[in-house]
Structure 1
Amino acid sequence: EPPLNQMPSTIYVKGIAASQGADDVRLCIQIGPKWRPFPRFTPTSYLNLTVIQVDIDVDSDRNGTIDGTPKEEALEETQAAIVPVNCDDDDSFARDCDNDLIDGPADVADLIPIVIHKTVSGWTARLEILEGDPSKLRVFGGPDPGPGGSPVVLGKSIGGPITTYQIGALTSDLTYYAEAAGFRTSPSELDWKLGLMVTKGAEELRDVVILRPSPFVLLPASASPEEIYVGGAYERILELALEAGGYTQDEAETLVVASSDKWCQNNVEIGFTSWPSPGPTGENHMFVYWDLNSKNDSQNDAWIGQQLGPDRGYFKAEPYAVGYFEGGTIEVSEGGLGGILFGEGHRQTTPDFYPTDVDDYNLVAEFFAAQGIQPAVTKVDTTWLSVGHIDEVLSCGAGKPDTGVTEAILNELDNGFAGQADGPTFDSNELYDTDIPSIAEQTWPGGFIKITGGRGSGQIRQVKSVDPQAGILVVAKAWTILPDGTSQYSIAPKSAYRAMFATGDEDCGVISGIRGTSMLVLQDETKSWQPYKWNGGYILIVEGTGAGHDPVCISNSTASEIMIDNPGFSIDIGDRYVVVQGSKPLLGLKGSTYLAFTVVRSLLDYWDQDSFQQKINNSIGGFSEPGIPALYYTVTGTNWKGYDNRAYAWLPNMVNCLSAGRVRIVVSKPFAINGIVPDPFEVTVTTLYGGTVVYIDVWDEYHLDGGGIHCGTAVKRRPDTWKWW
């Protein structure tokens, strides 16, 4: 009751509850004498008001409910409510977001409500999409499923996008239901602004909320597996591997799902999408299969599409990334939801589906930036690799390649010894040295001794036996010149000549004679082999005149001779050789194969591990995952994919592995060192990880085709929490 001269000239009014009818609020100004004890005011002016409620509500605070709290109201124009990308199939017909129906009662859970509160009579209302792509949002007029159910009132529809919906008189609260028809594809893509407009004559009032599609999220390999897809030929092999790692047979059979696709990883990425929802968990979710099948191969598409079902969504890379990359180019780093890593080296030269004007990395980076959940995509240089996938050099949570580990293993096998004889012996097959180490008794027989200086210099013999206590070393063939106290020698133990990537029996020796021209007969008079034992096998000259050449196919009909076609290079008496019954194959030019067979010492002599290690460090030097043994080779020329001079995994790629819950990793069996059990490469990896490591043979099916276990599997994993928000 201020004095009249203190009355403000303008009064501001705020409505706190909606009017029940027109003009149901009366504001009046009254004046009267101030000096009277009980003044009798005289009304001088009335103003009738109607409080118009203009209120559209969504779950802007992302707590799973629409509760109209001040917090929710304050956020509705700055924080988007999450609209589910409804790409699953709840009625066994097609993706739910591909038609204008609510696809059965279960589909209602994959929609979010939009609540519009009533206003007074005499005003009319409309809904309008003010910003954002209307072809990716669909709003239904209610929750009723099926044909004849709630119609599409706004957004995507068969007849074309609807941007405005006339509600008319808004005399009661209404609830609409919304779904998203696709994920965001670019960080510049606008959120939807949905406006409620209430009008009367020329007057218009509005309320606005913001909506955004639920994101697509990929999980790191440490997340728990729910299903592991693998080419049908390996279904039982993988089940047995999981059983060896601690799963029961029933659990393994439930986990492993057979696929018609040999390269599951290349053609699909399996992630999830989730959104706030009412209920005890406060969320709802579905797994989502991202189809990367760029070649539109019907067989590969079939198995991916067959996963579509309730809470199993599906989308294809088109149109924003028409599969110019493959799943092996993407890894997810550990920690929270992880960051996306992209190997940029995969690029086919076939112009049909790999046009030169498409940048794979930018497509992937834009897509994940648009989701707004996982950190920016990191580009990794994989251009030096045969296929160019990041999973050739990095398995997040498992490891990265380390050629130094491989070199250390091989050097341990190639543990040579140098010494000097103490004096002459009276046996033409012996050398005398009291400094022979005790380990020599087990490690030297089968290896080689060379007199490097003093009497008898230049002679090479195979070691037959060693007696460290007596200081006596016995050679398989008598010395031509008997060593004495001036003779210096070097020893390469049998392990240095262990065959790598070979099969069957093996032996090594020194060539003592050669005869023939078009066909050469190599003699080693110290041997007494079973005739024909080596037929169809291979001989490799590891030291001497013929060293450094590829293995040669052989046969033998006598106990001490091997026959070969003239190899086109010189072989001399005294050359050291290794002979094997069989060899693993390797991938060569244009899909051809050649022999993987080599030996420890030869590999150490000519393998440029430093060059490969530098390439690895340049690619992923910043990642601290443990180093897994790795061995590469380069095929000179243009390979079967059209690439020039790229590196292949010689050792089956143990980095390209599968993390499988209780099984720490499932790894390609290396088949590196023939005849040593357990394989030192397996021992190294098992020791490195400490947990359960299981090895399976993928040489012929995957390794020979340039891939590994990770390439041949795709895993549906469950996050620790669905609540990314």
Structure 2
Amino acid sequence: MAQQRAIRLSLKKPTHAVCVVGTDTSVDVYGSVPPGAMTFKVAGSSTVETYLEYDPKNVSELPADEHWPLDAEVDVIISMRAVSQNVDDAKVQVTYYGRNGSQALGQALLYLTGIEVSLDVDMDRTGTIKKNKADKKTWNWGPEGHGAVLLVNCDKDSSVSEGIDYSNSHLYSMADLQDMSKMLLSTNGPDEVFEKHRLVLHMSVNDADKVAVFHAQGGSHISDFKRVLGPDKLSYTVHRAVGEKEITFYVEGLTFPDADFLGLISFDLTLMDTDEMLLETPIFTDSVVFRVAPWIMTPNTQTPLEVYVCSIDEKETSQAKFVDAVTNLALRANCQLTICPPVDNRNDRWIQDEMEFGYIEAPHKSFPVVFDSPRNRGLKDFPFKRLLGPDFGYVTREPAYGGASSLDSFGNLDVSPPVTVRGKEYPLGRILIGSSFPKSGGRRMAKVVRNFLYAQKVQAPVELYSDWLSVGHVDEFLSFVPAPGQKGFRLLLASPNACFKLFQEKKDEGYGTAIQFEGLKNEKKKITIDEMLNDKSLRSDNQYAQKCIDWNREVLKRELGLSERDIIDIPQLYKLSDSSAEAYFPDMVNMIVLGKILGIPKPFGPIINGRCCLEERVQDLLSPLGLKCIFIDDYLSYHVLMGEIHCGTNVRRKPFSFKWWNIIP
């Protein structure tokens, strides 16, 4: 309900006032009282609701004749029930009486004109605007919550525009309006009232750089939509045409929630009264609040829509074969394929590290948004120049100083499927960020990137320990795959212990002389199972790696609500180089997940009975889940460069069906 204002009465002449229907107005019955008056009585027209507030200590019982004592501190409140057809067509009369109450000593008249003024948004989150009696000044989470949603207008709907749509002070395309949220100003009542009063739409200076508003001025051409609020303007006088009952505004977000911005934006609509001296006083204010939609990541369990991979210099045949393998994989998974050519990647093949796909959503609109990492290598222009477009948004965060570390690449950024942890639901999963060991020095993801991820709220991040790895990315030791059952997924963790256990089994079966890297051409590191089991340095390196993975295992179990049966150990070995770990053979958890089809780095394990024993073990672990394992040779194209298939591919996935505003953070 809008704030209450007071109307002063006069015994000398009638008072005239405008009241917004449904709002309470206080009438000052004490400012002009005739001498000798002891009581007063209030009477009003049928369209005026009148009630009196009093303290029972001062008024022990209601007066039978409705004569209220002036010394009882009784407050008179009025409210218009309906819009006036004409100016002054409603009336309130206050009559004052002396001691005996029989003779009136004076009378004050108040003429009222009832009007409608309402600022409304999609409070119910249905995609349409309805007039709502809920508290429009608040925004509540959850399925029973209320409050409107605002998209950051971060796509580019017109080829004429040079930048992201929110950077423009005017429209370049009518399609741009679909990325904005409507805000309606409803007015009704005698036109003379609105000619003598001013309607002002305004916002806080704190919101000035976070939102902009366009006024739809009656036409259907681009020029009929004017930006009236934004970084350069905090208030706007709304010009209402004669008889105009509904005025439409379009609101666009200019920035995502972040460390210094909670995501809430408010607008006020004030009705200003102008007197003969041109002094203005506010007589009514209506307010609405929006929450800017967060950027949302999608986990491996979401349906894949489009696969991205880089083609490099044609002379590099290993990369060409890799691209062919990924092409076939995308075809089998019925996914669209985008091959980033050399002119766009500038010999940078690490497309997972450059960007992360997500989306934003409001009740009326949703579109993908690519988050561009601050690594800024050969692919640095690809997300902005090639992905930004109609209904495809872009966002980035750059460190203010110091540049980016390896942990700022987005192979170090993942998200779990939906989980429930100790009774708390995370229906959009939880973001996973690789970091340094707690309370120690080391590499961490840039604060500006971490702040952005935390500020989105709906996928509460979990920080893991990845700095033990040379590259330092979480995708080097974990992945998620879809699986039947209540949770709908399994967590895959790289496991040196599982690998040594497998090799020991094969030794005990009499295959100790089987060779790792057997199928590789020009590979000088061929080594038998016996030699790997007896290599003390390799054992020591992997004891360390296993301890680091086990530490993360416990964090993941605790923060994702997992049990051991939700985790599958994938055989993997590491080697230490300058005290940091690298994959000894192609890292099989660093895979691409396309529904039930998995593209897994070919490990070139010992061949036993015509089959790679590492591939066979992984198939035995994953095939019962209905997953198809396809092993792809990425040895020369990625592995020797300290990466694998996940690092060299990227996937845009279908958004969640769950609506983020129904979360209770």
TM over 0.5: yes
| Aligned positions of 1:610-629 closer than 5 A | 610-623=543-556, 624-629=566-571
In structure 1, distance between residues paired with 2:76 and 2:105: 20
SS of the counterpart of 2:78? coil
In structure 2, distance between residues paired with 1:86 and 1:175: 18
Question: Which residue does 2:528 correspond to in 1?
Answer: 599
Distance 1:293 1:616, change over 3 A: same
Q: Is the CA contact 2:123–2:132 (under 8 Å) kept in the aligned structure 1?
A: no
Question: Which residue does 2:453 correspond to in 1?
Answer: 368
* Deviation sequence 1:634-669 (CA, Å, 0-9, x none): 12xxxxxxxx32111012000111110131x21000
Q: CA deviation at 1:293?
A: 4.4
- Greater mean deviation of Cα atoms: 365-374 or 186-195: 186-195
Question: Which residue does 1:451 correspond to in 2?
Answer: none
Q: CA deviation at 1:197?
A: 1.6
In structure 1, distance between residues paired with 2:550 and 2:449: 24
Q: CA deviation at 1:701?
A: 0.6
Q: CA deviation at 1:5?
A: 5.4
* Deviation sequence 1:471-527 (CA, Å, 0-9, x none): xxxxxxxxxxxxxxxxxxxxxx4x2122211347xxxxxxxxxxxxxxxxxxxxxxx
Q: Does 1:653 align with 2:582?
A: no
- Greater mean deviation of Cα atoms: 51-60 or 701-710: 51-60
Q: Does 1:85 align with 2:173?
A: no
| Aligned positions of 1:281-430 closer than 5 A | 284-295=365-376, 297=378, 299-302=379-382, 305-318=385-398, 324=405, 325-335=408-418, 336-345=427-436, 360=445, 362-375=447-460, 377-397=461-481, 399-415=492-508
In structure 1, distance between residues paired with 2:599 and 2:349: 17
Distance 1:5 1:371, change over 3 A: same
Q: Is the CA contact 2:152–2:256 (under 8 Å) kept in the aligned structure 1?
A: yes
| Aligned positions of 1:208-223 closer than 5 A | 208-223=287-302
Q: CA deviation at 1:74?
A: 7.5
* Deviation sequence 1:82-135 (CA, Å, 0-9, x none): 111111122223422221222323222111111112263221121111253312
In structure 1, distance between residues paired with 2:404 and 2:272: 48
- Greater mean deviation of Cα atoms: 141-150 or 301-310: 141-150
Q: Is the CA contact 1:60–1:79 (under 8 Å) kept in the aligned structure 2?
A: yes
Question: Which residue does 1:703 correspond to in 2?
Answer: 639
Question: Which residue does 2:355 correspond to in 1?
Answer: 268
SS of the counterpart of 1:175? strand
In structure 2, distance between residues paired with 1:400 and 1:13: 69
Q: 2:79 aligns with which of 2, 14, 29?
A: 14
Question: Which residue does 1:154 correspond to in 2?
Answer: 229
Q: CA deviation at 1:170?
A: 7.5
In structure 2, distance between residues paired with 1:388 and 1:209: 45
Q: Does 1:61 align with 2:132?
A: no
Question: Which residue does 1:514 correspond to in 2?
Answer: none
Distance 1:52 1:658, change over 3 A: same
Question: Which residue does 2:164 correspond to in 1?
Answer: 95
SS of the counterpart of 1:82? strand
Distance 1:500 1:25, change over 3 A: same
Q: CA deviation at 1:620?
A: 2.9
In structure 2, distance between residues paired with 1:175 and 1:723: 26
In structure 2, distance between residues paired with 1:400 and 1:313: 33
Q: CA deviation at 1:625?
A: 2.6
Distance 1:187 1:98, change over 3 A: closer
In structure 1, distance between residues paired with 2:377 and 2:497: 41
Distance 1:388 1:289, change over 3 A: same
- Greater mean deviation of Cα atoms: 185-194 or 612-621: 185-194
Q: Is the CA contact 2:353–2:411 (under 8 Å) kept in the aligned structure 1?
A: yes
Question: Which residue does 1:499 correspond to in 2?
Answer: 515
Q: CA deviation at 1:688?
A: 0.9
Q: Is the CA contact 2:619–2:629 (under 8 Å) kept in the aligned structure 1?
A: yes
Q: CA deviation at 1:720?
A: 3.6
Q: CA deviation at 1:203?
A: 2.5
| Aligned positions of 1:434-513 closer than 5 A | 493=510, 495-503=511-519
* Deviation sequence 1:31-79 (CA, Å, 0-9, x none): 99xxxxxxxx999653212335442111123222111032375757996
Question: Which residue does 1:176 correspond to in 2?
Answer: 249
Q: Does 1:203 align with 2:287?
A: no
Percentage of identical aligned residues: 26
In structure 1, distance between residues paired with 2:224 and 2:169: 10
Distance 1:170 1:180, change over 3 A: same
- State the one-letter code of the partner of 1:164: S
In structure 2, distance between residues paired with 1:357 and 1:193: 41
SS of the counterpart of 1:619? helix
Q: 2:601 aligns with which of 650, 664, 668?
A: 668
In structure 1, distance between residues paired with 2:410 and 2:396: 13
Q: 2:236 aligns with which of 165, 171, 180?
A: 165
In structure 1, distance between residues paired with 2:187 and 2:463: 52
In structure 2, distance between residues paired with 1:330 and 1:285: 22
SS of the counterpart of 1:496? coil
The alignment of Structure 1 onto Structure 2 pairs a total of residues equal to 519
Q: CA deviation at 1:19?
A: 3.5
* Deviation sequence 1:202-250 (CA, Å, 0-9, x none): 431211111232210001111111101011233321122345xx54xxx
* Deviation sequence 1:310-346 (CA, Å, 0-9, x none): 2111122236797551111111011131101111159
Q: CA deviation at 1:382?
A: 1.1
SS of the counterpart of 2:371? strand
In structure 2, distance between residues paired with 1:293 and 1:363: 10
Distance 1:387 1:345, change over 3 A: farther
- State the one-letter code of the partner of 1:308: L
**Unaligned ranges ≥5, structure 2:** 1-42, 44-62, 98-103, 275-279, 312-319, 419-426, 482-490, 557-565
Q: 1:112 aligns with which of 169, 181, 186?
A: 181
* Deviation sequence 1:362-404 (CA, Å, 0-9, x none): 43432123222112x1111111111000111111335111112
In structure 2, distance between residues paired with 1:357 and 1:675: 42
In structure 2, distance between residues paired with 1:359 and 1:610: 24
Distance 1:632 1:73, change over 3 A: closer
Question: Which residue does 1:717 correspond to in 2?
Answer: 653
SS of the counterpart of 2:209? helix
Q: Is the CA contact 1:102–1:145 (under 8 Å) kept in the aligned structure 2?
A: no
Q: Is the CA contact 2:398–2:449 (under 8 Å) kept in the aligned structure 1?
A: no
In structure 2, distance between residues paired with 1:54 and 1:66: 15
**Unaligned ranges ≥5, structure 1:** 33-40, 278-283, 347-355, 417-492, 505-581, 585-594, 636-643
- State the one-letter code of the partner of 1:373: V
